[in-house]
Structure 1
Amino acid sequence: MITKPMLAIAAGLCGTLFVGYCIYFDYKRHKDPEFKRKLKERRRANKESSGLSRRPAANFPDMKDHEAIQKFFLQEVQSGEELLAAGDVGNAIDHLANAVAVCGQPNELLRVLQQTLPPHVFNLLVQRLPAIAPRALRQERQMQEEDVE
C-alpha cells in the first residue's frame, strides 16, 4: 500500500532527477565547441524568417524630384494593396510603410489607411514606420552628399 508521504517523496525524487538531467545536458551543451556557432546561425535564421530582413531595402527616389516621388508612392501603394489581397501581410506592410515615408502628408495617408485596413494590419504598419523613416532619410542624406562631391 502506497501512502501519501511515500507518493510525495517519489514525486520529489522524480522532480529532482529531472532537474538534474536538465542541468547535466545544459552543461554538456554549453561545453560543446560548436554551441556558439550553432546558436548564432539559429538566431540569424530566426531573424531572417521572422521578417526583420524580409526583403532588400527599398530604393527611395530623390526627394527633390517630385515626379519620381509620386511614381514611387503610387507604385508602393499599389504593391502593398496587391500583396494584402494575396495574403502577404509582411511585405504589404513594408510597401505601405515606404509609401508613408515618402508621402507629403503622412498623417492624412495614415488616417485613410486606418479606415481602410484591418486593425491588426494597421497596427503592424504603425509599428513598422519607425524602421522605415530613418532609412528614407539616410538614403536622402547619401544622395545629398553625392551631389556635393
Structure 2
Amino acid sequence: MKLSTTIKVAVVALITQQSIFSQEAKKEANSTTPNYTIENCVNHFELDKAVKTKVGYQYWFADKNFTLENTLKMSIVEPGKSTHAPHHHVEEEFFYILEGTAEFFLDGKRVIVGPNTSLYCPSNSEHGISNPGKTELRYLVIKKDLK
C-alpha cells in the first residue's frame, strides 16, 4: 500500500511540475510576442525600406521577429540573375510570382513560369529560382520559421 501511495504522490508531483513549466513557457512566449495593432498588421511596400541585395532587393512584409512562425517577403531579381544557387533546407517554402518570368528548379528539373503562379518547395528538396527574362522578376516568399 505504501508503494502505491508513493507512486501516486510522485505522479502528482510530476504533473504539477510539468504544469508549472508549461505556464512559464507560455509566459515567456507571450513576453516576446509583439503587441499586434491595426497599424503594425498592415504593411505597404515602400522601396526606401527594401534591402538591397547583389541581384536586386528584398522587402520583408513579416519576418520571424514579428510573427509567431511564418514569414512573408517579396524578392525582386534583376534580369539574368538569381538570388542564390539551388539549395535545400528543412523548412518548406512557397513562391508566388507577381511579375516577370521565373525559372524554377526543383530536384533536378526546371520549368519557366509567369505571373500568378505558385511554386512549392517541399522540406529538404533542392530548389532555386532565377530570372531568365528581360524585366524584373517580383515574387513572394512564404515560409514557416522553425525557431
The structure with higher relative contact order (CA 8 Å, sep 6+) is 2
Q: Which has the higher strand share?
A: 2
| Larger-Rg structure | 1
